[in-house]
Structure 1
Amino acid sequence: MTGSFEGRTALVTGAAHGFGRAIALAFAARGARVVACDILGDGVAETAEMAGASCEALCLDITDHGGVGQALADLMTRHGGVDILVNCAGGVLGQVGRPIEEISPADWTAIVAVNLSGAFYLSQAVAPGMKANGWGRIVNISSGAGLGISLTGIQAYASAKAGQIGLTRQLAHELGAFGITVNNVAPGFVRSNPTTERQWQAMGKDGQKKLVESIALKRLGSPDDIANAVLFFASEEAGWISGQVLSVDGGK
């Protein structure tokens, strides 16, 4: 069903590790030209090397509106634009849960910028090319925190991911007339990067057991589980699906 993306160019942000890396590798394995994007230059270069010749690395700060515009203009020149955009970059930027009165404006703004504003900037940059082509796929990676609460209690993270879900629905209606679908994947807890690994260890054995027992399938997922959902949304078979949020969390 999601077998081939030959002739398509896919831009994947947050591709230096975790979900983004798995998504970039999955598209490359299925014939897409992949632009693996991240602010972590070494990590995204490693992803491109793992993916092979059809994947290139792009070191980019997605919170820099001007830089995003310049990078997309270059991609337009070299590849004729972007067919598939996966907004995967995000995270908590090393922050931990604290009482609301302890949160500085800078802490709040930083998380909102990378989880919400960056997705907006990239979507804004690719939209003209997708409109011109009459076809496009935008897939945002939010979180169970955007549908409920943050397990770590980080107010900005839950808010930004909820905002990203709202952006998904809004853009689906704005861009649908141009043959562009916009959907959202909301992962459950997956040990996919150094941050989630620290969160897992901090839970202790009792907390880990409690978390797994709360999942219908009684196991944690993997980055490939998230990549598979993205591939579906990006496929031709999902052409009449837009504005949707798919929870990939093992069942709650």
Structure 2
Amino acid sequence: MTPVRPEFVPDPSQSREEMEALQRRVAEVARFEDDVDFDPAAVSLSTDATLTGERPLVAGVDQAFLDGRAISAIVCLRGGNVVERTHAVTELEIPYIPGLLSFREGGPILAAFEALEADPDLVVFDGSGHIHFRQAGLATHLGVVLDVPSVGVAKNLLCGRVDADVEGRPAGWRAPVLADDDVDAPDGTLLGYAYQSRQYDSNPVINPLYVSPGHRTSAETAVDVVERLCGGYKLPEPTRLADVHADECKTALE
């Protein structure tokens, strides 16, 4: 896959002000509503041979890091079957800055997409989408660049508020994440959901995931597909397998 909107490709050489201005432009063109060529209800981890061909192709993206390099991995699933795995190893140009993750990791991830032969229907990123100070987290920024339906799944809440206590919630629980004063959006704007994917008796303090639309998906669809993609683990299977692949590639480089 190559960028459809190259004017939005994140440039780590820009100043912070330029980066934030670009994110606002990305947010203006991002669509936080469903605009997909597949039935979101068909997303699943089913391995039923009679259904596999009907399942949308879902790509998971995650990274590992080694000696100033990013190992960006993509794993594509159709149902529960892995269709393709690929990765790219690139130099990191800037440190991590909260809210500017796409400028650190976006280029490396796009390099991995360049190596990808498949054309996914949906991409699940390990990072925020609409839940972002300027409404343009990693999943939104790269979703717009590639013009692909995308979802962000973060382990921590970057901004916004959850109008509920998130601790100790049972599997399947969800609550809206709403914009607050830290977000460039009207107060109370729905940004995504806190979603408790799993809970374990052996470890009762499992934090929820923070799921938000990246591009061309709604908040409701984003959390629904993530729920269908969590196959017995906390993380959705596409990003979990991408994390495993990234770590395998990292080990091979050490």
Q: Same fold (TM over 0.5)?
A: no
- TM normalised by structure 2 equals 0.33
More strand by share: 2
TM-score (norm 1): 0.33
Q: Which has the higher contact order (CA 8 A, sep 6+)?
A: 2
Choose between structure 1 and 2: higher helix proportion: 1
